[in-house]
Amino acid sequence: MEKQDNRKHEHYELLNLLGYGLAKFDKEFIAQFGFKSKSSFYQYLIEIGVCETVGTIKNRQDMLDPFFLIL
């Protein structure tokens, strides 16, 4: 069995903050950055090197979504 690499993503903290903002504020969050759609916001984050895939960002949001669900 190979040893797993336990290093955090280079932008771990930033991705957590982005995930938090998306989970809590959704479209209002991306509007604050001047974007009209999530896909354009995600693409921008990929272009500037915050992450390599849209899934990376969506996973952070999905991880935090349960904290902001209205029951």
Give the pLDDT confidence of 7-35 residue by residue, as tens digits. 888 999 999 999 999 999 999 999 999 99
Flag whether 51 is in a domain.
yes
Flag whether 1 is in a domain.
no
Positive or negative, the Cα torsion across 4, 9, 15, 20?
Answer: positive
Flag whether 7 is in a domain.
no
Flag whether 3 is in a domain.
no
The share of the chain scoring above pLDDT 70, in percent, equals 90
Closest C-alpha among 8, 11, 25 to residue 65: 25
The pLDDT confidence band at residue 6, using thresholds 50, 70 and 90, is confident
Tally of domains within the chain: 1
Average pLDDT, the chain: 90
Mean pLDDT, rounded, for 38-62: 96
pTM equals 0.82
Instruction: Print the domain residue range for 34.
Output: 12-68
